[in-house]
Amino acid sequence: MQFKAILVEKTDAGQSASLKELSVDSLMEGDVLVRVSHSTVNYKDGLALTGKAPVVRRFPMIPGIDFSGVVESSSHADWRPGDAVVLNGWGMGETHFGGYAGYARVKGDWLVPLPRNFTPAQAMAIGTAGYTAVLSVIALEKHGVAPADGPVVVTGAAGGVGSVAIALLAKRGWHVIASTGRPQEKAYLEGLGAAEVIDRKELSEKGRPLGKERWIAGVDGVGSHTLANVLAMTKYRGAVAACGLAQGMDLPASVAPFILRGVALLGVDSVMASKSRRIEAWERLARDLDTSKLAAMTSTIRLEETIGAGEAILAGKLRGRTVVRIA
Ligand code: NDP
């Protein structure tokens, strides 16, 4: 059985990505074969496609950290041909062949059922970025912060994690402050539910150890000085969920927000999250994510366009979420 896939191969210059024709026999080991219908472009996919960070740990590699599709064959007790499934993370596109392909062979334990209320295309419009956004929101709620305590700031607002986080937080009644480097996206961000839009320059430069208390909570997909400033401006007993590094992996902060204001920094990882956390996250998305807002933040491309989209996401040029239609 032949199918199209994006393949990243090692070259003398580093690595290169191209569209190839592969056979199912060339897929890696796993107990479930899935006919992939949709994947997405996440920030990490941009890193894998371009080689700008060592995301790909084995060459050649099919990138694509997530997919939705239908089980073609299975020797795993939980899955039967025809089941609609979703997969996020677990090293796909890094150590295991990923979603930019007509077929994927994976471990059945990594799969979750296609969440109720969503089509395969919508599940990938959410994708790993959206699922990480909901994990961040859940982390804040479990910490105990609530809309009555004050506003929430979302950094990288016009990106994938940011867009979904804004929609989810607004739905739960939060006053959302969206931080963006794209002032032209003000109306888009307000449409998702942002109450205020601020220039990311207010947060992206080196700041003071403690600043004016502006928000009780934050969802940060940016890292570096931005995260340091978000922490420095968080109100007493507030919390910030840190899930990304679009500005940088460093954290040039001081301990002042932690020891003087009792601020909590909550780490969010989606890749190795347990199945129960995944199911909780998807159930929350089914309950709280307005599908018209999801449509407003989604663009769709063909597999052939994925390599260019990888460059674009790293340049901060993709808005919201980008679905890759495979089938
Ligand atoms: P996107 O590129 O869609 O969003 C990132 C946004 O960050 C951009 O749209 C831009 O928003 C902002 N940004 C980009 N560059 C800079 C910069 N130099 N300084 C300040 N802001 C910047 O990526 P995703 O939403 O897919 O991912 C966001 C982050 O979350 C990534 O770092 C990704 O690796 C991480 N992530 C982590 C996961 C986990 O498991 N922890 C899972 C998924 C993602 P704007 O134009 O509005 O300023």
pLDDT tens-digit series, residues 151-194? 999 999 999 999 999 999 999 999 999 999 999 999 999 999 99
Token reading at 323: 């679905």
**What is the number of H-type helices and E-type strands within the chain?**
10, 15
Residues 227 and 98: their CA atoms lie apart, in Å, by 30
In the chain, domain spans: 2-114+297-325, 128-267
Sequence-distant (≥ 6) Cβ neighbours of residue 276 within 8 angstroms: none
* pLDDT tens-digit map of 107-122: 999 999 998 889 999 9
Tell me the one-letter amino acid at 72.
E
Ligand 1 neighbour 44 (Cβ under 6 A): yes
**What are the tokens at 279?**
């199911």
In short, whether 219's Cβ falls inside 6 Å of ligand 1 is no
User: 137 C-alpha to center of ligand 1: Å?
Assistant: 16
Q: How many CB atoms lie within 10 A of CB 51?
A: 18
pLDDT score for 13 = 87
Pick the CATH number of 2-114+297-325 from 3.90.180.10, 3.40.50.720, 3.30.2010.30, 3.30.1360.120: 3.90.180.10
The answer to whether the 2-114+297-325 and 128-267 domains have the same CATH topology is: no
229 lines ligand 1 (CB under 6 A): no
Give the homologous superfamily in CATH for domain 128-267: NAD(P)-binding Rossmann-like Domain (3.40.50.720)
Looking at the chain, the whole-number percentage of residues with pLDDT higher than 70 is 100
Q: In sequence order, which residues have a C-beta less than 8 Å from that of residue 29 and are 6 or more positions away? A: 105
